[in-house]
Each structure stands twice: as C-alpha cells, then as structure tokens.
Amino acid sequence: MAKISRKRIIFFAVYLIVTTIVSALILEGAVRLLGAAPQINTAYAHYVADPYVSFKPRPFMVTSGQMLGEYTFEWKHNSEGFRDVEHAVDKPAGTFRILGLGDSFTQGMGAAFEETYLYRLESMLNARQGSHPAVEIIKTGVSGYFPEPERLLLQHYGLKYSPDLILVGFVPNDVLDTYLGLNWFRVAMLGCLQTREANRLGPKALWLYLHSHVCRIVLRRFVASRIAKDQPMVFPDVFRPNGFHEKDWRQVENEFDKMIELARGANAQIAFVHIPLQPPWGNPAAYPGERIAKWCAERNVVSIDTFPALREALSNRTLYWEKDGHCNPEGYKVIAETIYSALLEKKLVP
C-alpha cells in the first residue's frame, strides 16, 4: 500500500506539473494570438546610463519597428545619442544655431525624421527668401525627458554648441514627470528603461516581462497598482492652479529659471513652446500655455503656444495618433508652422 501511495503521489505531482505547463503555454499562445499584452516599445529599449542626465539614448543607435499597428518607425541617432545628423561643436561662420530641447514630441515620436517639427522648422527657416544666415538646429529631444533633465542636458551637452537661440518644448505631462523625479527611470537589461517600482521586483521579473506576454500583463498591472498607491497622481490638477500638482508646476518653473540663467550666461536667447497632449480637449486644456505665457512675460522671455493653432487645424484633419498619443506628421507640421511664424514675428531669428 505504501508503494502504491508513493506512485500515486508521484503520478499526481507529474500530472500537475505537466498540466500547469501545458495550460500556461496555451494561455501564452492565446494572449499572443489575440495581441492582448501591451507592446514593448523598442524605441525605448536602447538607452545607456549617463552621469549627468540619468539616461541618454545609445550613440549611433539604429532601430525600427511598428507602433501599436498605427505606424512604422525608424530611429537613427548620432554620436551624441540624439535623433539628428552630426554637428560640429564649433559653429560654422555665418550660421545661426538653434538648440531644441524637449521630450518625445520634440524627438518626433510618431513621424519620420524629416517630418519632425524641428526638422521642418529648420527647412522652413533656410527656405526663406532674401539675405539671411544659414540656420542649423541641434535636435536634442529625448523620450522621457522633462524640464530637469533637459536643463542638465543643456548645461552639460547643449551649450558647447554655442547656440544663438534655445527652444524648450513643454508638454503638460512634464508636470507629472517632475512629480515622479529624475531617478524614476533607470537603464536596465537590454537598454530598457525601467521604473523605480519595477526595478524593485528584480531582474527575473524584467526577464519575464520581456519574454512572456501573460507575465507582461500581470506585472504591468501590479506595478501600476503599486505606483498608484505609493505615488498617486491627479492628472486633472495639472490643468488648474493651486491643485495637487502646484508644487510640481513651481519646480518646472524653477528649472525654466535655471535655463534662462544658462542661456543669458551663454549670450543666447530662449523661448518656451507649449505643445498640448492629444485631444479630446476640455476648457482647462488651454491653462498650461496661458500659465507659461504669463510666467515668460514676467521674465521678459518669449513663449510660443501651439495649442490655438492645433485646435483650429483639428477641425478638418487628424493631428495625433489615436493609440500612441503623439502627433502624426500633420500635427508636427502645424507645430513647425506656428513656431516659424512666432520666431519671425518676434524677430528671434535674423
């Protein structure tokens, strides 16, 4: 009886293990077939640690893929890790140089390099009739950046290019990123960016996230619940004064003050550009641009608000990718045209 009992125990143990493995494989296959797991954005999987700005894209990075079934992308980075061509550190004679700072919108997520707003702006400025210097734009937008790392990038990397004008792109979620802090992301396995909460789960959890669609769903929901508990955010309060994120707004403005100081120390002009997140837009959507405009006026610096032009253009064309949330080429075109008109009107470019 003892021998039979042991055989049964072994049988049921093996049966349980095999059944579990087969069920897991079936579930994994079904999830992959249905496309139910969140897609890994390979554009965010090629970073290196940096002593000044926490992380930067890997130099000479080349990657391509498809984003959420909405568009294909190809990324090529220069020796500094920026989505741009190579630029000499020494400014060529007779050249007016602009440095563009910002996040994924400034980097041009959702469009080909030639369709990004900084590339379009550079082309438009150089295509003007009449006598004017050549315009060169150093494009340093980085996905995941917000005012603090942008200021650090300006300080440690951007000023060496001797810019005549600094354009700072601002998107409302910069306030939330400021709330989370500079060390919210770190570079993990395979050059991926990993949140602080996800990092606490260890490298095995990251491996499962990268290789299992089922685990990706479970881990993402678990990490999201931890973040909501430990660092709750109130996104609507980004669009009103004296709300939950007022202290973060003030920190954003503090970083902008430091950028102004750096620009003036380098004898460069500076302008701040408000780019709204994707619609639908309610009445509070205008608040970030209005707040930045008032703040800039108090400091005698230029603000450029792209929100009115995008809102008007939205009546007859699509400007943002529905799933991805970034601008499509048409959206970036409107942004470039708005900045171009403002630069000429305010005489910020010769």
Domains of the chain, start order: 84-179+234-345 (3.40.50.1110)
DSSP string, 3-55: HHHHHHHHHHHHHHHHHHHHHHHHHHHHHHHHT-SPPP-GGGS-EEEETTTEE
DSSP alpha helix (H) spans, the chain: 2-34, 104-107, 117-126, 147-153, 173-180, 196-199, 203-211, 213-230, 246-265, 287-299, 307-313, 329-345
**pLDDT tens across the length of the chain (350 residues):** 455 677 777 777 777 887 777 776 776 677 677 677 666 665 566 899 999 999 999 999 888 888 888 998 888 999 999 999 999 999 999 999 999 999 999 999 999 999 999 999 999 999 999 999 999 999 999 999 999 999 999 999 999 999 999 999 999 999 999 999 998 888 887 778 888 887 888 888 777 777 788 778 887 888 778 877 878 899 999 999 999 999 999 999 999 999 999 999 999 999 999 999 999 887 799 999 999 999 999 999 999 999 999 999 999 999 999 999 999 999 999 999 999 999 999 999 99
pTM as predicted: 0.88
